[in-house]
Amino acid sequence: MPIDVRIDDLSSPAVQALVAEHLAGMHANTPAGHVHAMALQALRAPGMTFWTAWRDAELCGCGALKQLDAHSGEVKSMRTRAAFLRQGIGQAVLDAIVQTAVARGYRQLLLETGTGPAFAAAHALYLRNGFRWCGAFGDYEATEFNVFLRRDLG
């Protein structure tokens, strides 16, 4: 079954529930005060593009791209629902994000994510896709609970 990745306006209850699920997962796996996941209103802000992934009528996952400046973007809110893990959902969403960043002329993509076993699959996905470990960027502060990755886009 093909994966349909599309830009989404976050208006449907199903998508809003997925964003809430993502936030709950981040809070369950990261200590209070160290979660940088974005709530619904932040995902609707100017400079944000949000995608959802679907198989037929089933919502499988999501991801977002935040414009940092004219040459840089940040990957945000990557989430695959539990029933769809290891089925290419995250890859399909990341592909859409990278394609959009390239089309916009970005020179780099950056991201911040958590540490520990709950984030191992995400780390593997990003490393397979040309991201490399880097230092903190923007307003982020490096702690034992987060890591940073960067992909140059040529």
pLDDT of 33 reads: 74
CB 69 within 8 A of CB 105: no
- Interatomic CA distance for residues 15 and 35, integer angstroms: 20
User: CB-based contacts of 94: which residues, under 8 Å, 6+ apart?
Assistant: 63, 75, 78, 125, 126, 129
Average pLDDT of the chain, as a whole number = 94
CATH code: domain of residue 29: 3.40.630.30
Q: Is the pLDDT of residue 81 over 90?
A: yes
pTM above 0.75, yes or no: yes
Tens of pLDDT along 104-147?
999 999 999 999 999 999 999 999 999 999 999 999 999 999 99
pLDDT of 64 reads: 98
Handedness of CA 143, 40, 132, 117 (dihedral sign): positive
Domain membership of residue 22 (yes or no) is: yes
Domain membership of residue 75 (yes or no) is: yes
Domain membership of residue 70 (yes or no) is: yes
Residue 89, Cβ neighbours under 10 Å: how many?
Answer: 24
pLDDT of 77 reads: 95
Domain membership of residue 130 (yes or no) is: no
Backbone angles phi, psi at 135, to 5 degrees: -85, 175
Domain membership of residue 152 (yes or no) is: no
Query: What burial class does residue 116 get, using C-beta atoms within 10 Å of its C-beta: 0-12 exposed, 13-18 middle, 19+ buried?
Result: exposed
pLDDT of 76 reads: 97
Q: Report the share of the chain in percent with pLDDT over 90.
A: 86
- At 41, is the pLDDT very low, low, confident or very high (cuts 50, 70, 90)? very high
pLDDT of 154 reads: 81
Domain membership of residue 93 (yes or no) is: yes
- Interatomic CA distance for residues 85 and 115, integer angstroms: 19
Query: What burial class does residue 5 get, using C-beta atoms within 10 Å of its C-beta: 0-12 exposed, 13-18 middle, 19+ buried?
Result: buried
Domain membership of residue 17 (yes or no) is: yes
pLDDT of 120 reads: 95
Q: Domain range holding 103?
A: 4-108
Domain membership of residue 119 (yes or no) is: no
